[in-house]
């Protein structure tokens, strides 16, 4: 076992470094423990301490170049954000400049949402919080009717039945995994029923011998029995993306079908920051906002600013200024032209392929694209690109590293090309 020097001895050599004394001592002790375990030679002590100190100065959350072709990459933050010009210093987050009195943070987003959707809406910190809040306010202690085929897991182990249980609502399953009829819903209604819930399966698809009622049938039943219909839409599509190969239910269509309350994510097909939106009936939405748990789930000023900027671009139909929508709207021919310029001089070839939406949205729906397939060791390529600054994230298929420019910003192409050439 190697006997390392004392902490004081190393401090005498490094004590003049511009770091807090406690942090410096902590790093020295960490490195000395490596020496004691014979995992580090004595000669490397100083350099390893300095490297550790520098790591504390570097942000862990950093920008990356997404070359995977997955537009809403969950591990890379889902919808990429545009430069939104965040407000620095103080802001009028909860201050009414016109009256000089206290205001509400909703004022920055609610008017935009109502203009886009035609109904009142509020924002919370994600869609799981939105689901919880709706269930807690409208059905705590009472039954919520849900089709058995819609009791989904929304990611990371969070399941609709679990959220429902925590909200205090009582799950009433109806139908079968693959088929549920309007009669199943009608027969389940009793004096304890407070809500009919429809969950859009945005992260999977059931095909074959399947059936379920239309939204119009559900809302008609709800009106007849005076029970609100709530739909968790998941991916939150506000723009018609069918011309670009993506067929996902739009929020407006659900509201037009008579759904009383909808909730959905903002960091998926809406193209904004992580937020959950609740929209719908003019009496129910304010009631949900008055729930004491709303304060626990409300958005902070950074999210409010990012959401306001996103909604404004949607309202003005500046779709190409929202990166996720810009990427989805690019044709295969555009990607091919960019890839042809990129591949010149590279040991690579162009192959036809597919981009995916990802992020728990639009299962089995893909967009035609063109891929740069690099020759050589795919694992080595992947590691090398991932170690770049900024990191470049690509994908490996059939032992080849693939680059999909659909998810690469044009301003990053020069850096990407230079890295591939080096």
- Which pLDDT score, from 0 to 100, does residue 258 have? 97
3-state secondary structure of 250: strand
Q: What is the pLDDT of residue 205?
A: 64
Strand (E) or helix (H) holding 373: strand 366-374
The answer to whether residue 203 scores a pLDDT higher than 60 is no
Residue 330: name the closest of 340, 319, 317 by CA. 319
Q: Which of 220-224, 245-249, 380-384, 406-410 has the lowest mean pLDDT?
A: 245-249
pLDDT, tens digit, for every residue of 83-140?
776 678 999 999 999 999 999 999 999 999 999 999 999 999 999 999 999 999 999 9
Q: Which pLDDT score, from 0 to 100, does residue 155 have?
A: 63
Percent pLDDT > 70 in the chain is 95
pLDDT reported for residue 22: 94
Residue with tokens 């902490």: 7
* DSSP helix, strand, coil percent of the chain (3-state; round to 5): 40, 20, 40
**Rounded Cα distance, 414 and 417, in Å:** 5
Of 411 and 151, the one with more pLDDT: 411
Residue 261: φ, ψ to 5°: -140, 135
Q: How confident is the model at residue 311 (pLDDT cuts 50, 70, 90)?
A: very high
3-state secondary structure of 282: coil
Q: Are the CB atoms for 31 and 40 separated by under 8 Å?
A: yes
The mean pLDDT of 159-173, rounded to a whole number, is: 90
Confidence at residue 221, expressed as pLDDT on a 0 to 100 scale: 98
C-alpha 55/C-alpha 27 separation (Å) is 11
The per-residue DSSP string of 140-200 comes to TTSEEEEEGGG--EEETTEEHHHHHHHHT-EEEEES-SSB--HHHHHHH--TTEEEEEEE-
DSSP 257: T
Say if CB 333 and CB 369 are below 8 A apart: no
Instruction: Answer yes or no: are the C-beta atoms of 228 and 260 closer than 8 Å.
Output: yes
What's the whole-model pTM score? 0.91
């Amino acid at each position: 076992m190697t006997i390392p020097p004392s902490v004081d001895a190393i401090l005498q050599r490094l004590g003049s470094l511009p770091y807090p004394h406690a942090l410096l001592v902590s790093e020295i002790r960490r490195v000395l423990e490596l020496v004691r375990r014979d995992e580090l030679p004595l000669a490397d002590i100083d350099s390893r301490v300095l490297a550790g100190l520098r790591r504390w100065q570097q942000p862990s959350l950093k920008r990356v170049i997404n070359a995977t072709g997955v537009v809403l990459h969950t591990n890379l933050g889902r919808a990429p954000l545009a430069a939104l010009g965040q407000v620095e210093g103080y802001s009028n987050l909860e201050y009414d400049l016109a009256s000089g009195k206290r205001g509400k943070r909703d004022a920055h987003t609610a008017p935009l949402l109502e203009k886009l959707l035609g109904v009142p809406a509020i924002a919370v910190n994600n869609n799981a919080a939105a689901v919880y809040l709706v269930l807690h306010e409208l059905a705590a202690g009472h039954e919520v009717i849900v089709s058995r085929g819609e009791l989904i897991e929304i990611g990371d182990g969070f399941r609709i039945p679990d959220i429902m249980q925590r909200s205090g609502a009582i799950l009433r399953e109806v139908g079968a995994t693959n088929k549920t009829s309007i009669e199943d819903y009608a027969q389940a209604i009793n004096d304890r029923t407070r809500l009919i819930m429809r969950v859009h399966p945005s992260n999977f698809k059931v095909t074959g011998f399947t059936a379920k009622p239309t939204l119009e049938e559900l809302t008609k039943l709800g009106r007849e029995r005076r029970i609100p219909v709530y739909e968790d839409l998941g991916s939150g599509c506000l723009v018609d993306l069918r011309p670009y190969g993506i067929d996902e239910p739009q929020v407006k269509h659900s509201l037009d079908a008579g759904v009383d309350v909808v909730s959905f994510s903002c960091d998926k097909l809406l193209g904004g920051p992580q937020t959950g939106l609740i929209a719908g009936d003019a009496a129910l939405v304010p009631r949900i906002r008055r729930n004491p748990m709303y304060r626990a789930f409300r958005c902070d000023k950074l999210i409010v600013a990012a959401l306001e900027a996103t909604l404004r671009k949607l309202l003005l139909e500046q779709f190409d200024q929202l990166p996720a929508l810009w990427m989805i709207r690019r044709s295969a021919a555009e990607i091919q032209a960019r890839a042809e310029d990129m591949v010149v001089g590279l040991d690579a070839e162009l192959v036809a392929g597919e981009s995916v939406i990802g992020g728990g949205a639009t299962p089995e729906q893909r967009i035609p694209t063109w891929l740069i397939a690099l020759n050589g060791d795919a694992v080595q390529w992947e590691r090398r690109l991932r170690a770049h600054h900024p990191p470049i994230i690509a994908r490996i298929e059939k032992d080849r590293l693939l680059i999909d420019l659909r998810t690469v910003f044009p301003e990053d192409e020069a850096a990407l090309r230079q890295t591939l050439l080096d």
